[in-house]
A = this chain, B = another copy of it.
Amino acid sequence: MAEFMTETKQCPAGAPLAGDPPAPADRPRPAREGGPPPDGHEATAVLDRARGEVDPELRAAVESLPGAMRRIARYHFGWEHADGTPTAGNAGKAIRPALVLTAASALGGSGARTAALRAAAAVELVHNFTLLHDDVMDRDTSRRHRPTAWTVFGVPDAILAGDALQALALRLLAVDPHPASRAAAARLADCVVELCEGQHADTAMEERAPDEVRLDDVLVMAEAKTGALIGCACALGGLYAGADDEAVAALDAFGRQAGLAFQLIDDVIGIWGDPERTGKPAGADLAVRKKSLPVVAALTSGTPAAAELAELYGRPYDEKDLERTAQAVERAGGRDWAQVQAADRMSRAMQELVRAVPDPEAAGGLLALAEFVTRRSS
């Protein structure tokens, strides 16, 4: 249930980090015959197209809700202000629906792409249901530069609107006559369960002492929280294209690995990101003692800097320790580890993509999206 390319946390594409930028040479770039490596422009075009296609489906679904649920959903999606007046438009990037549609067209052409529209909307509804609930649980007050729904409508209404969006998502698939809709619904429901377990693990992790957190656990948690829905989105596209089980599994694995790469980079930005770019104070994750991936890698490194970091994390936050804390993570190898891991995950994602979509031309859109969501550190 992590934020994935939501605007609050997002750097503009290619934004440099504060301090030394990580070496972009780590990032494997699979060769694409017949064209240059994807750039941000290509990804933006892929996203814009998908957004244009899925929006009517998504809006129709939300408009089918009764009064109060509809009002909260419209606000949450950024279509309306709290008083019900229309906004200039501030919705998220809709990466997940774009992955559904792009995977469908990669393996099944434009027919599959059109057939997968409801599934794309369903994935976006599930994503937004989890955001509504996560914001309640984490007491986050801001999302996409606006007050979160629970701060505007109260906790009960935010919980209810999330519940309604989950129901709406699975309803879209239940009424979809496409032969893949049944398997898609089962897969999406399984994904929700995994997201819940991942969010639980994250909450539980934050309550543990720094020396009680294992790196493997954090990786598993990050895959469940962030990778699972990205993988599910890709897999659903494959299902609507009539792909075989192996290709669907490879699409799922592609999305999971790309999602993990994203999370690793997001965690690096949470420590060393440029406040002017991220819109968050420097070292925001350190200030709240977040056990992000680089921090846990540092804590479990067995180095002298690990002990120093554990001691710092045991204290209440003090701004004057911030720089030292970030340096301890770096000296303990947390930053390097996260960057190497991110590159490794992207490399695995590319291998899965080749398995799922052997034709490089057809795989271009998915490649562009994966690059887009993970290139913020390059």
Give me the interface of A with B, judged by CB distance under 8 Å: 65-69, 129-130, 133, 136-137, 154-157, 159-164, 166-168, 170-171, 173-175, 182-183, 185-186, 189-190, 192-194, 196-197, 199-201, 203-204
Chain B minimum-CB-distance residue to A65: B193
Q: Chain A binding site: helix, strand, loop or mixed by DSSP?
A: helix
A193-B170 CB under 8 A given contacts A157-B203, A159-B137, A201-B68: no
Residues of chain B within 8 A of A194, CB atoms compared: 66
Residues of chain B within 8 A of A197, CB atoms compared: 65-69, 160, 164
Contact B193 A185 (CB under 8 A): no
Contact B136 A164 (CB under 8 A): no
State the CA gap A312–B163 with chains docked (Å).
36
Residues of chain B within 8 A of A193, CB atoms compared: 65-66, 69, 164, 167-168, 171
Contact A69 B182 (CB under 8 A): no
Identify 30 residue pairs between A and B in the complex whose beta-carbon atoms are under 8 Å apart, listed by A's number: A65-B197, A66-B194, A69-B193, A69-B197, A130-B163, A133-B163, A136-B159, A137-B156, A137-B160, A154-B203, A156-B199, A156-B200, A157-B200, A159-B159, A160-B199, A161-B196, A163-B166, A163-B192, A163-B196, A166-B166, A166-B192, A167-B192, A167-B193, A168-B189, A170-B174, A170-B185, A171-B193, A174-B174, A174-B189, A175-B186
8 closest A-B pairs by beta carbon, nearest first, are A171-B189, A167-B192, A174-B185, A137-B156, A170-B170, A66-B197, A174-B186, A160-B196
Contact A175 B167 (CB under 8 A): no
State the CA gap A167–B154 with chains docked (Å).
24
Residues of chain B within 8 A of A170, CB atoms compared: 167, 170, 174, 185, 189
Residues of chain B within 8 A of A155, CB atoms compared: 137
| Residue among A67, A174, A186, A199 with max Cβ neighbours from chain B (10 Å) | A174
Contact B182 A174 (CB under 8 A): yes
* Copies of this protein, total: 2
Contact among B69, B203, B204 with A200 in the assembled complex (CB-CB below 8 Å): B69
Chain B minimum-CB-distance residue to A176: B182
A143 to chain B, nearest CB (A): 17
A219 to chain B, nearest CB (A): 16
Chain B minimum-CB-distance residue to A155: B137
Contact A174 B171 (CB under 8 A): no
Residues of chain B within 8 A of A204, CB atoms compared: 68
A199 to chain B, nearest CB (A): 6
State the CA gap A201–B157 with chains docked (Å).
10
